[in-house]
Amino acid sequence: MAKQKFMLTPDLVKVEPEPSVSNSPDIAVITKKTILAKDVINVHISRDLKKRFQMWCFMREKTMTEAVEEALEKLVG
């Protein structure tokens, strides 16, 4: 049997109880986020173009999916 290296004790780990959930008006209203079903598309592009697009997205703090969706919205309205 393996020997334990250390014991987790309250002085090592800070444990806080979960906040209680109630119907109090003091609690901020939680909004439901609508998740839209998305389809997958495949695009065959050159590796160089993909790398440049990845860098473009990174510099603008966007995901590639977000950037493609925005571009398609602008293109097709």
Cα angle value 40/45/50 (rounded, 5°): 90
Q: What is the pLDDT of residue 75?
A: 95
For residue 30, the Cα-to-chain-centroid distance in whole angstroms is 18
Question: Exposure of 67 by Cβ count < 10 A (0-12 exposed, 13-18 middle, 19+ buried)?
Answer: middle
Backbone angles phi, psi at 35, to 5 degrees: -105, 120
Digit-by-digit pLDDT tens for the chain (77 residues) are: 677 777 777 777 777 787 776 665 555 566 666 777 888 999 999 999 999 999 999 999 999 999 999 999 999 98
Cα angle value 26/23/16 (rounded, 5°): 75
Q: What is the pLDDT of residue 26?
A: 55
Q: What is the pLDDT of residue 67?
A: 95
Q: What is the pLDDT of residue 64?
A: 94
